[in-house]
Structure 1
C-alpha cells in the first residue's frame, strides 16, 4: 500500500477489506482537503467541465473547446475552471493566448479510494 497526499492508495488485495473511510476516521487536514474537492464537484457546471476535459481527445482541452456546451459566459467558465484547479482536480498551462486543462488522475483516484466500500458490508 502506498500513500498519496495523506490517504492510502489501495492495491487490489486490500480493496476488499480496508477502504479508507471504513478503516479509520479522517483527520482534520485530510477532511478539509477532500471537502474542497467534493465541494468543487458539487456544482453541475464544474462536474460537466471535468467530464468534458477528461473525455476530450488527448486528455486535455483548451478553454476555447469548453465554452460552447454551456449557456454561461466565458468569464464564468474560467471561474469554474479556477475552482477545479484550486481544488487540485485539474492542471493547466498557458499556450499562447489559450489555457489548456487536463484532469489530475491522482486526485480522482484519491476520491475514489476514499469512497470504496468493502463488498462484505454492502447490503442488497
Structure 2
C-alpha cells in the first residue's frame, strides 16, 4: 500500500491518525473542537466526562498530532491541528484515486 502514498503522509502516520479517530468518544471530542478552541474544563462539562477519562482521550489525540494545547494560567486549552487533518485528507484522496483507476482487462 505504500506505493499509493504520493502525499507527504506515510502509511504509518495514517494508521496512527485513523486509530486515534476510531474511538467514538474521540470523534465527539474532534467534533466539539471543530467549533473552536476549548478549555478542558468546558470539555468535561459539554461531553459529560470525568476529567481523567477525558484527559486520556485528549492525550491519544494529541500524541497522534490531531490536537495542540496551550496553557493559560491553570487552564489547558485544546484545538485541532488543521495540518494533521489535511494530511489525512490528502492520504485518503490518494487512496480514493487508486480505487477509481480502471482495472486492466483480465485474460
Question: Once the two structures are superposed, what CA deviation does each residue of 1:65-102 show, in whole Å capped at 9, x if it has no partner?
Answer: 11123343111101111111000001001111110011
Give the structure-2-normalised TM-score.
0.77
Matches within 5 A, 1:78-93: 78-93=55-70
Aligned length: 96
Where does structure 1 lack aligned partners over 5 or more consecutive residues?
1-20
Q: Does 1:51 align with 2:31?
A: yes
Secondary structure of the 2:17 match is helix
Q: Alpha-carbon deviation of 1:25?
A: 3.1
- In terms of fraction of residues, the more helix-rich structure is 2
Give the structure-1-normalised TM-score.
0.68
After superposing on structure 2, the runs of 4+ consecutive aligned residues of structure 1 that deviate more than 6 Å are none
Q: Work out the CA distance in 2 between the residues paired with 1:52 and 1:72.
A: 13
Of 108, 112, 118 in structure 1, the residue corresponding to residue 85 of structure 2 is: 108
Secondary structure of the 1:48 match is helix
Q: Does 1:75 align with 2:55?
A: no
